[in-house]
A and B are shown apart, each in its own frame.
Chain A
Amino acid sequence: MSEQTKISIRDFNFFYAKKEVIRALNLDVRENEILSVFGPANSGTTTLLRALNRMTDLTPGVYMEGEILLDGKNIRSPDINISELRRKVSMVFEVPTPLPMSIFDNVAYGPRLSGVKNRVLLEHTVEESLQMAVLWDEVKDRLHNSAMRLSGGQQQRLCLARILALHPEVILLDRPCSGLDPVSTSKIEESLRHLKEKFTIVIVPHNVQQAGRVSDRAAFLLMGDLIEVGLTAEVFANPKDKRTSDYITGRFG
């Protein structure tokens, strides 16, 4: 983890259907760290994640205020190229969703969209991405089989490989392990520890324990308010706010 700021969220307010989902949020994401954003359901964690690469644009009826700076540039400004932004800040969803095509084509989907046609280059990218997502050994002999036939855990690692093929700078993970078995979960968490050397990672964990296991820093969101943020070890050992300690110790949520 470096001290360099990758993403800086400034005075951010988010409304959905006139309801305030995120209130006056100020939060920095540092380069090459794993930041977990955790909190009970409907606290705005997923919304915040989706705002970081403007997936929120797809939802009608949203309204935002404030700035989200990526390397100092506001991603909310109208002249930003959304396709480029989403390649730079890529997302893995809660439900593993391979597209209905082969394993190879799934991983090559993003590069192909940006115009890569060279077969050798594509093959190289696919292998490299699958290696990083710790899936290569399991699928290298059946790259051209349908991705729909992989197990849930394999599918989620495929989704991770699929965004790695974009050579992103920031990886957003929205409860990536919520439906997975413990073995798959630990495989994904293991790959995250390697990935943070190259990427900046923001994760919404599916439970508090995962936040404790994988992240360098943790931010606790409650009903749209940022309650506390700090090094994960500190937040968990000595939470400054009573609400944080109540949540971590399982008194609500």
Chain B
Amino acid sequence: MGIRVNPRTTQKIAKVVIWSAAILVLLLLFTIIIYILSKGIPHITWQFLTEIPSDMGKSGGILSAIVGTLAVTIVAIVVATPLGVGTAFYLTEYTRESGVTKIIRFSAESLAGIPSIVYGLFGFIFFVTYLKLGWSILSGGLTLAVMILPTIIRTSEEAIRTVPPMYREVSFSLGGTKWQTMTKVLIPSALPGIATGIILGIGRCVAETAAIILTAGSALQMPTSLFSPARTLAVHFYILASEGISLENAYATAAILIILILLINIGANLLVNRVVAKRR
């Protein structure tokens, strides 16, 4: 028989352990963020943001990487949003639970789990090679679109499901068709939730590296069309850091990435809070 410990004592020990775990997580987050920001922010200058990199990124700025990030992200969002939101509407409004919806949900959940390097392989063989799009903004953006599709499907579906069912009844009872009900009542009501999903998708695009290297390449030049190869901020940072090209510029780029992710997260949270506040 083991030693009997007073339940009150275990309660106290457990409480301490659990609180310290939570504090550890917060501490880790702040350490990482503050470390990167404090080393990086001093190197961010106006020039750094507005000049094209030169000498492999050793000097010059990161303008082409900013443009590259923007371009692949826009392609991804433009492609994934209608597909994701459309799928969510199909699942909530156009069908009842059935084998078909199960398969669609299973596919989306499976997509969410696939590692980004596998997306990279797929994007490389399908978009770059098979569809002959080459290493380009288009290939990179389409690969990212596939990656963020499950996020947009899930958040949109949740958002549409929180629209009170009576809104649909009212709209139908006033002679509204399904299409009218969707465009005039459901979409406006679910918009903040849908936007949250899109913002999270943007965050994922900005942060992604592995899938983009294999599909958009890592060209330093300013992209000129959808078919130009491009380098995103995350890829630029990876190359600067791993090849030891310029630690200063690496820190500065990382700091910009962190700031972007912070802003994106704050935006998503503001939207979520708005939805919650509205429901009260």
| Residues of A near any B CB (own CB < 8 A) | 53, 55, 58, 60, 83-84, 86-87, 90-91, 93, 95, 97, 99-101, 109-110, 113-114, 159, 162-163, 166
| Cα separation A90 to B172 with both chains bound (whole Å) | 10
Taken together as a complex, chains A and B put the C-alpha atoms of A109 and B174 apart, in Å, by 8
Q: Which residues in B have their C-beta under 8 angstroms from that of A159?
A: 170
Residues of B within 8 A of A100 (CB): 167, 188-189
Partner pick for B174 among A60, A101, A166, CB 8 A cutoff = A166
Contacts A/B (CB < 8 Å), 17 sampled: A55-B172, A58-B169, A83-B177, A86-B174, A86-B175, A91-B173, A93-B169, A95-B166, A97-B166, A97-B170, A99-B167, A100-B167, A109-B174, A113-B175, A113-B176, A163-B173, A163-B174
B184 CB-CB contact with A under 8 Å = yes
| B174 and A87 contact, CB distance less than 8 A | yes
- Any chain A CB within 8 A of the CB of B185? yes
Given A60, A83, A97, A101, which contacts B175 in the complex, CB threshold below 8 Å? Answer: A83
- Compute how far the CA of A86 lies from the CA of B170 in the bound complex, rounded to whole angstroms: 11
- B274 CB to nearest chain A CB (Å): 13
Question: Which chain B residues lie closer than 8 Å to A114 at the CB level?
Answer: 175
List A contacts of B184 (CB < 8 A).
Answer: 109, 113
Q: Any chain A CB within 8 A of the CB of B164?
A: yes
Bound-complex Cα distance A83 to B176 (A): 6
B interface, over-half SS: helix
Residues of B160-197 contacting chain A, CB below 8 A: 164, 166-177, 180, 184-185, 188-189
Contact of B169 among A55, A113, A162, A166 (CB under 8 A): A55
Chain A residue numbers with a CB within 8 Å of B173 are: 53, 55, 86, 90-91, 93, 163
B88 to chain A, nearest CB (A): 19
Given the complex, which residues of B lie within 8 Å of A87, measured CB to CB? 174-175
Closest chain A residue to B181, Cβ basis: A113
Q: Which residues of B contact A95 (CB under 8 A)?
A: 166
When the two chains form their complex, are residues A113 and B180 in contact, meaning their CB atoms are under 8 A apart?
yes
Given contacts A100-B167, A109-B184, A113-B176, 19 further A-B contacts (CB under 8 A): A55-B172, A58-B168, A58-B169, A58-B172, A83-B177, A90-B173, A90-B174, A93-B166, A93-B173, A97-B164, A97-B166, A109-B174, A109-B176, A113-B180, A114-B175, A159-B170, A162-B174, A163-B174, A166-B175
Q: Would you call B4 an interface residue if the criterion is a C-beta within 8 Å of the partner chain's C-beta atoms?
A: no
Q: Is B96 interfacial (CB 8 A cutoff)?
A: yes
A159 to B170, CA, bound (A): 9
How far, in angstroms, from A58 to B168 measured CA to CA in the complex?
Answer: 10
